[in-house]
């Protein structure tokens, strides 16, 4: 098959768009800004979900489901929250259609107007905290550790598949606690889980940090985030965990009686990751030949392609391939035996490269004679001839190596593209000519942050959790600073 | 704990409503008709999902995700479809809120009106077939075997938790085929999968059949269904599988080139089950003490309650309980060790009865001496003293027995409550005084069906697939009939 992908070096944005479509991950729908996640793309999401869900449950969380719709007035109850979301809400105003009097199609029935308009949830803090009010009376009812897998809608004007869509799929955790410290611990625990997931499963090295005030979630006192670096040198926020303080408890009057009999407002957190992670996965690792998927999230980990001229060879190879598939299945390795007779091996090789299958096994008649197969790695493109005997272990080990190699490569890229600067000139030079993360001193004011953003399009991605105390001066204002923060242009 | 449940015999409807709430399954939300599925209820849904998803995948289906919103005009493209759904559609008309000029809250921004209104999907045939148009060119692209797990909205005026809610969760399969026969086979395969799921996992005996024309899905040529009988003698439709013929292919112009080079419209099916199944599960098996859950879908299969007076006893019991839990975990049996010190054993017994945990193990100091535990079944309320040695196997076997017993009990109930009648007098008498399924001859006309419904509130639940050819006369019109159909009042 002809891939026809643009090269990353020539047009990174176009490369991404084309890759998402050609690898059958997703496409645009007839509804503006809403995507269709195709089976291959969705199966990556399922792998992500399964892993994250296990991690949430291991830390004591349960899943639940809250309504898609939020009464309009709820949004206004937390001042910052409504400010953050009102401008991108899909609004339901009617509940019925009727036949058009001209006999053509249907129209909205004006008699079926809702008394109060409903918002399609952009996030569920308001409807959930309104519910928590009834679930919490005493400290015995706390903590509430709840997660929801759901679709949400934010009416974005400029959308891109996976990265920014009007509707997206995500999980949103919403927890309620008796003490501030417990809520803070939960916030940190969840950003650590996200970080572990990104690094161990997505093979994506991330920086953990906290957001500056301007970049905080609308309604939070503190937002923790993980930030990854894409191959074009732009940052991508891959997950956030918010310490909500008592903001939503106050907005929705959620109080509890403590052990000592005193009443207090509950402390809250919320945290989420979305189908955006699929965008990050693609952008971080893939190449001009197509997707490069880390084995732990690849829907197909191994593909077997038979190479034959005669029907007899085909049958003999199929026998070996099916045995191999069965024995790998026992090791929970997912295998596709591509025995289609409608396509040639070269076409198949290209297709599975495009789709990012980590390991390809080719078996020809000579291999049968020699008791070998050809093993090809997607990440390094290395090929080697391997004995069939004992190959299970070789495959298992190679998949582990691929997982590590993809991570190491992304990490080396990030190291190369993280720059420490001390002047605004250097700062601008890097953002214009090299991109990547820029570590610099900042005076801590929103004003400076805004100016820098205006002048360079770079934003503060985060104040890294491991940032050291270091006396310095703000690159923009020259005012004193005691910590470097991380700037970048971002998705 | 005091359960305070109404008795089924006194007020079945109220018993159901109270049970759903008291067992922490679900509750009504602030949004009319939309429910909140609480963690315990959602964990039953997760078990259902996991099992069904495995069954779908084993039969070659993949998951994907299509937009929540459907352009209004799409709905009109299939005439019966729009007729069926237009009257209960939530309609999005705007995409932004703005601050109210009076400074109080937010209002819909009139400048942000959509050019074409969007419907919140009541089902996804239209948006999916509009997509399939681009996915199908040749017979090589077929079949498309796709499923979606999603939320849908139907603006119901009278709602009941799980059974009928404005928003509900479901799966909807949408397949496309090159031949009529293949689509018909798929339709039947999926109703068989639903039937297997209902009987093997939900322990719910169901009748497989096809719907009469009036009860068919809007846009289908044939609707297959499974119908279960609830304890109040009402029927509940638990799943449907629709043969769509070429209706949606024609409405959305989905054509393919066959092997012989000829163009034809694609053949389609769709099939779904929803969170309604949780309602069926409750109504079919539970009793005046609370839920009775079949072990295969119970979130907690075994609960261990310690009975102690001293802290020393408590510690000794905990040791045994934790060992038992660990060894059951290896057998994939889910166990909760309820070691709370805040509640007495009697309270705990009642709580876990209410929540339908199939097996309860009580361990007291004397049990420790004797090397025994007390095992209590939720379904039969039988108790027995069992040696701890070898108890794993006893528990596993007992769970199997419970699963079978719950099914057998429901099946016996259905047999008792299925009546064969030959006159309209008998028919009315049964529906008034006994309820249940009524097997009777019908002349095959919608007119007779409507009259019977008007006069008795009973509908034709289905024409059973295993109905025998049998000459008879319609109970209502006296016209000839060659098959009995199944009537009942229904949820």
Q: Is the Cβ pair A153, B39 closer than 8 Å?
A: no
Question: Chain A contacts of B92, Cβ < 8 Å?
Answer: 90-93, 120
Please check whether residues A97 and A157 belong to one and the same domain.
yes
| A/B interface, count of CB pairs below 8 Å | 191
Task: Please indicate, yes or no, if residue B4 is contained in any of the structural domains.
Answer: no
User: Touching check for B218 and chain A: CB below 8 Å?
Assistant: no
Chain B: residue nearest A74 by CA? B105
User: Cβ atoms within 10 A of the Cβ of B371, count?
Assistant: 12
Among B262, B285, B308, the domain boundary falls at B285
Task: Please indicate, yes or no, if residue B5 is contained in any of the structural domains.
Answer: no
Reported for B420-426, long-range contacts at CB under 8 A and 24+ positions apart, including other chains, are: B420/B484, B421/B475, B422/B472, B422/B475, B423/B475, B424/B475, B424/B476
Please check whether residues B304 and B389 belong to one and the same domain.
yes
Task: Please indicate, yes or no, if residue B197 is contained in any of the structural domains.
Answer: yes
User: Touching check for B423 and chain A: CB below 8 Å?
Assistant: no
Task: Kindly tell me if the per-residue pLDDT of A105 is higher than 90.
Answer: no
3-class DSSP state for residue A131?
helix
Chain B: residue nearest A92 by CA? B92
Distance CA B371, CA B363 (A): 10
Task: Please indicate, yes or no, if residue B25 is contained in any of the structural domains.
Answer: yes
Please check whether residues A165 and A308 belong to one and the same domain.
no
Q: Could you tell me the CATH number of the domain that includes residue B250?
A: 3.30.930.10
Please check whether residues B422 and B308 belong to one and the same domain.
no
Question: Chain B contacts of A25, Cβ < 8 Å?
Answer: none
Distance CA A192, CA A55 (A): 11
Please check whether residues A62 and A194 belong to one and the same domain.
yes
Which pLDDT score is estimated for A1?
Answer: 52
Q: Is the Cβ pair A66, B95 closer than 8 Å?
A: no
Q: What are the CA-CA distances from residue A378 to residues A17, A43, A59, B43 (Å)?
A: 21, 19, 35, 39
Task: Please indicate, yes or no, if residue B409 is contained in any of the structural domains.
Answer: no
Min Cα–Cα distance to chain B from A481, Å? 38
Q: Is the Cβ pair A95, B88 closer than 8 Å?
A: yes
Which pLDDT score is estimated for A2?
Answer: 53
Distance CA B223, CA B243 (A): 6
Please check whether residues A190 and A315 belong to one and the same domain.
no
Q: What confidence tens digit (pLDDT) does each residue in A110-166 have?
A: 999 999 999 999 999 999 999 999 999 999 999 999 999 999 999 988 999 999 999
Task: Please indicate, yes or no, if residue A385 is contained in any of the structural domains.
Answer: yes
Which pLDDT score is estimated for B311?
Answer: 95
Structural domain count, chain A: 3
Question: Chain A contacts of B39, Cβ < 8 Å?
Answer: 62-64, 146
Give the A window 403-422 contacts with B, CB below 8 Å: none
Owning domain of residue B453: 418-488
Q: Is the Cβ pair A119, B97 closer than 8 Å?
A: yes
Tokens of B432: 């008034």
Which pLDDT score is estimated for A208?
Answer: 98
Q: Could you tell me the CATH number of the domain that includes residue B426?
A: 3.30.110.30
Q: What is the DSSP secondary structure assignment for residue A213, as one 8-state letter?
A: G
Q: Is the Cβ pair A64, B120 closer than 8 Å?
A: no
Q: Compute, in degrees rounded to 10, the torsion defined by CA atoms A50, A55, A57, A60.
A: -170
Question: Chain A contacts of B63, Cβ < 8 Å?
Answer: 39, 42-43, 46
Q: Could you tell me the CATH number of the domain that includes residue B320?
A: 3.40.50.800
Chain A: residue nearest B107 by CA? A72
Give the B window 12-51 contacts with A, CB below 8 Å: 29-31, 34-39, 42-43, 45-46
Chain A: residue nearest B168 by CA? A67
Please check whether residues A133 and A109 belong to one and the same domain.
yes
Please check whether residues B188 and B77 belong to one and the same domain.
yes
Please check whether residues B84 and B207 belong to one and the same domain.
yes
Task: Kindly tell me if the per-residue pLDDT of A305 is higher than 60.
Answer: yes
Rounded to 5 degrees, φ, ψ at B282 are: -65, -50
Which pLDDT score is estimated for B392?
Answer: 96
Please check whether residues A23 and A166 belong to one and the same domain.
yes
Q: What confidence tens digit (pLDDT) does each residue in A443-486 have?
A: 999 999 999 999 999 999 999 999 999 999 999 999 999 999 99
Most B-contacting residue of A21, A89, A95 (CB-CB within 10 A), to test interface? A95
Chain A: residue nearest B74 by CA? A105
Please check whether residues B39 and B85 belong to one and the same domain.
yes
Task: Please indicate, yes or no, if residue B6 is contained in any of the structural domains.
Answer: no
Please check whether residues A461 and A344 belong to one and the same domain.
no
Q: Which residues of chain B have pLDDT under 50?
A: none
Q: What confidence tens digit (pLDDT) does each residue in A215-265 have?
A: 999 999 999 999 999 999 999 999 999 999 999 999 999 999 999 999 999
User: Touching check for A138 and chain B: CB below 8 Å?
Assistant: no
Q: Are strands B267-274 and B167-177 parallel, antiparallel or unpaired?
A: antiparallel
């Amino acid at each position: 098959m002809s891939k026809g992908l643009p090269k990353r070096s020539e047009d990174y944005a176009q490369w991404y768009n084309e890759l998402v479509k050609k690898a059958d991950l997703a496409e645009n729908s007839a509804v503006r800004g809403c995507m269709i996640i195709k089976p291959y793309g969705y199966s990556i999401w399922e792998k992500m979900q399964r892993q994250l869900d296990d991690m949430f449950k291991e830390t004591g969380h349960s899943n639940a489901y809250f309504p898609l719709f939020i009464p309009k007035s709820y949004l206004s109850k937390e001042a910052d929250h409504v400010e953050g979301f009102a401008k991108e809400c899909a609004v339901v105003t009617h509940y019925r259609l009727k036949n058009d009097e001209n006999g053509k199609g249907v129209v909205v029935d004006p008699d079926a107007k809702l008394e109060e308009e409903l918002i399609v949830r952009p996030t569920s803090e308001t409807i959930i905290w309104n519910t928590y009010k009834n679930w919490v009376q005493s400290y015995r009812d706390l903590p509430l550790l709840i997660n929801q897998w759901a679709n949400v809608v934010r009416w974005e004007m400029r959308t891109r598949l996976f990265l920014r869509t009007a509707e997206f799929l995500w999980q949103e955790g919403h927890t309620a606690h008796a003490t501030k410290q417990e809520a803070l611990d939960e916030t940190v625990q969840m950003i650590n889980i996200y970080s572990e997931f990104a690094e161990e499963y997505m093979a994506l090295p991330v920086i953990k940090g906290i957001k500056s005030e301007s970049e905080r979630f609308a309604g939070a006192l503190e937002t923790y985030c993980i930030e990854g670096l894409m191959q074009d040198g732009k940052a991508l926020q891959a997950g956030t965990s918010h310490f909500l303080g008592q903001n939503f408890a106050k907005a929705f009057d959620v109080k509890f009686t403590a052990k000592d009999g005193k009443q207090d407002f509950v402390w809250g957190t919320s945290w989420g990751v979305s189908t955006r992670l699929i965008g990050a996965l693609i952008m971080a690792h893939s190449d001009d030949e197509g997707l490069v998927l880390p084995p732990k999230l690849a829907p197909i980990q191994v593909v077997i392609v038979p190479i034959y001229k005669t029907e007899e060879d085909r049958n003999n190879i199929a026998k070996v391939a099916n045995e191999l598939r069965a024995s790998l299945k026992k090791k929970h390795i997912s295998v596709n035996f591509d025995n289609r007779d409608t396509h040639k091996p070269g076409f198949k090789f290209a297709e599975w490269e495009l789709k990012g299958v980590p390991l390809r096994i080719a078996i020809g008649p000579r291999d049968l004679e020699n008791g070998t197969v050809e093993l090809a790695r997607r990440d390094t493109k290395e090929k080697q001839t391997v004995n069939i005997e004992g190959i299970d272990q070789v495959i298992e080990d190679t998949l582990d190596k691929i997982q590590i190699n993809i991570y190491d490569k992304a990490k080396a890229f990030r190291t190369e593209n993280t720059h420490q600067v001390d002047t605004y000139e250097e700062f601008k030079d890097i953002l214009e000519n090299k991109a990547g993360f820029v570590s610099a001193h900042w005076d801590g004011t929103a004003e400076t942050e805004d100016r820098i953003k205006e002048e360079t399009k770079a934003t503060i991605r985060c104040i890294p959790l491991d940032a050291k105390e270091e006396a310095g001066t703000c690159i923009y204002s020259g005012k004193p600073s005691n910590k470097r923060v991380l700037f970048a242009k971002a998705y």
